[in-house]
Structure 1
């Protein structure tokens, strides 16, 4: 049984009550304890296989563009290169959680190298992402794809309004570009002095790399080469990045919760959607779609997530949200056309052209 994925009550109040009941059931339980301890052990060789596979795919797509006999092949090759770059980000994802290796120095090294195709300072991404894990679908504190209500939207400056509208609809595939601009190069974004120092070091590494790489690329290939061999693959990586992260936590039947309703334990298991990718795509994206298990146990390496997920399904039947890969186009269309603004009365979404849902009974809190 997959709760809240099929056979979902359509009235927002009924959906919310079902979710609240499940979150209450989980309180005080150790979700991670359901995962066998051996699944937490990293295997460096397996991690490096994923790292080099993704780097080869990223570089191979770019070489393909350089050798392509027709410009009609550019777009699919950019998407292939973007998939490789997204795979590298997924490797950096493990590095950021310390699950790639027991060596923090190696995690940092691989993480920095993996994010170079995105020109993303590793520690800036790591610290923002950890905030997401600590506050998944919290209306006040989550850093990923957090919605605003209609009144807040009306008060936003015009530029912010346009960015929000675009990244919630036709330009959703560029949502993580905004994420990168907001937090990637701003040490002051982070409250802790240690985090700010790490972010500054990561920025220095990225600046030094850029100072060598970009002049060399332009010198060798011209400004058109910069566009063809870096900018377009970079946008393609963000398209994979944005689509995947957007679909993890954004759907009509998945609410953001206010303080007092939100629960740390429940958020790990109940407030994400897993999509059943084909095996090849699972391999190339390093199991990033097995996302609930990752939220429950970020220290589990990516190649053990499938087994971790099965352990959670056995221990907590009916709690994981799973949907077929074939449903992604339909779910994505519904998200970009309907999941725009937060409805304070129901906790769910409404579109830019709709008014918030009808009156419902006051929502009671779920203790953390």
Structure 2
């Protein structure tokens, strides 16, 4: 995207954000988390793996044998939830927090991403790019808003993809990432990365092609659509909605290199949504995301305690909201372009979106 001096006319909200950024400058954020929370318990991880596979496989079995078409929608939702849970297990595997064995992590990660046909190493390397540059306007790979002027210079196809995945087709945003990086070794700059991606591609194809062929042989095209394509789409919908809400908010800016810092990217730019306990369990605490950005090697089952430790050490710095569909609707209805003046967002009409006023909880100082 090039080097920019944005925002050109920052308002009080942006200045307040920079003030909080300065408060944590030079801090070793992960030191706030007790070291015992970094220890993986493989049996607990495998329990999560088994639960998500049971959800996914059970829903697909139900789709195969259900006599009633109207049962398909709830079964698709359950299959998608199982597939998303498996992605969350692969997420731990990619960060090395599932076990101390690199080979075991990679093996479980490859199996876990089969429902969305995502080569594990392709996902892992793209995801690491996101972690190394979260909310960096020029480098982040996840939900980065473009200035309207850049959008105007895009091709018609690029405009259609950008607009649709930020509005009515937000559920397909991660499908766009999958298309760009999942089966394109050349997307990655290092030879070792390209070699790993090719191995992951071979594994996915060796499993997915016979599976889809078998579905078609026994159940026809309808079987492929109902039992494979639809769960794949719903899993991506869970994937897209979750990541979009984590990293899009009217009062959280994307930052140019001039203002971006690693500590800001870890602590201040993620919004965590409070889920019901049953959903937290089935999604393996993926919504407890700030602690994960601060310390990616904390296993998913230790994230609640790690988050509490962060909140004690940095009161008011961790952003938490109760989940609501209204908030998701506001994101897809209004947060469309990067506002080069304020540092926040404009909507499709290029009108500035006023940053939402947050509770006092987001402006506290670090504990002594």
TM-score normalised per structure 1:
0.92
For 1:1-368, what aligned pairs fall within 5 Å after superposition? 13-325=11-323, 328-356=324-352
**Structure-2 change in CA distance of 1:324 and 1:357 (3 Å):** closer
Q: Is residue 34–residue 311 contact of structure 1 (8 Å, CA) maintained in 2?
A: yes
Question: Aligned-pair distance for 1:12?
Answer: 6.9
- Quick one: distance in 1 between partners of 2:215 and 2:34? 47
In 2, Cα distance between equivalents of 1:88 and 1:114? 5
Q: Secondary structure at the match of 1:261?
A: coil
> Is the 2:337–2:350 contact (alpha carbons within 8 Å) kept by the matching residues of 1?
no
Please tell me whether the aligned partners of residues 164 and 170 of structure 2 are also in contact (alpha carbons under 8 angstroms): yes
State the TM-score, normalized to the length of structure 2: 0.92
Return the alpha-carbon distance in structure 2 between the equivalents of residues 289 and 184 of structure 1: 24
CA contact (8 A) 2:347 2:353 kept: no
- Asked whether the 8 Å contact 1:42–1:102 carries over to 2, the reply is yes
In 2, are the aligned partners of 1:176 and 1:238 still within 8 Å (CA)? yes
Residues 250 and 353, structure 2, Cα contact 8 Å, conserved in 1: no
Is the contact made by 1:346 and 1:357 (CA closer than 8 Å) also made in structure 2? no
8 Å CA contact 1:148, 1:341 repeated in 2: yes
Deviations 1:7-33, CA, capped at 9 Å, x for gaps: xxxx97222111111111111110001
Point out where structure 1 has 5 or more consecutive residues left out of the alignment.
1-10, 359-368
Mean Cα displacement is larger for which, 131-140 or 64-73?
A: 64-73
- d(CA) in 1 for partners of 2:13, 2:332: 21
**Is the contact between residue 345 and residue 356 of structure 1 (CA under 8 Å) also seen in structure 2?**
no
Deviation at 1:67, TM superposition (A): 3.1
Q: By how many angstroms is 1:140 displaced?
A: 0.3
Query: In 2, are the aligned partners of 1:96 and 1:111 still within 8 Å (CA)?
Result: yes
Q: Which moved more, 1:66-75 or 1:166-175?
A: 66-75
- Asked if structure 1 preserves the Cα contact closer than 8 Å seen for 2:10 and 2:341, the reply is no
User: Residues 96 and 107 of structure 1 are in contact (CA less than 8 Å); yes or no, is this contact kept in structure 2?
Assistant: yes
Contact (CA 8 Å) 1:12, 1:348: kept in 2 or not?
no
What is the distance in 2 between the residues matched to 1:15 and 1:246? Answer: 21
* Matched-pair contact (CA < 8 Å) for 1:85–1:237: yes
Moved more, 193-202 or 239-248: 193-202
Post-superposition Cα deviations, 1:115-151, rounded to whole Å, max 9, x if no partner, equal 0011000000000000000100000000001111111
Distance in 2 (alpha carbons) for counterparts of 1:93 and 1:150: 33
Q: How many residues align?
A: 346
Structure 2: distance between partners of 1:210 and 1:66: 17
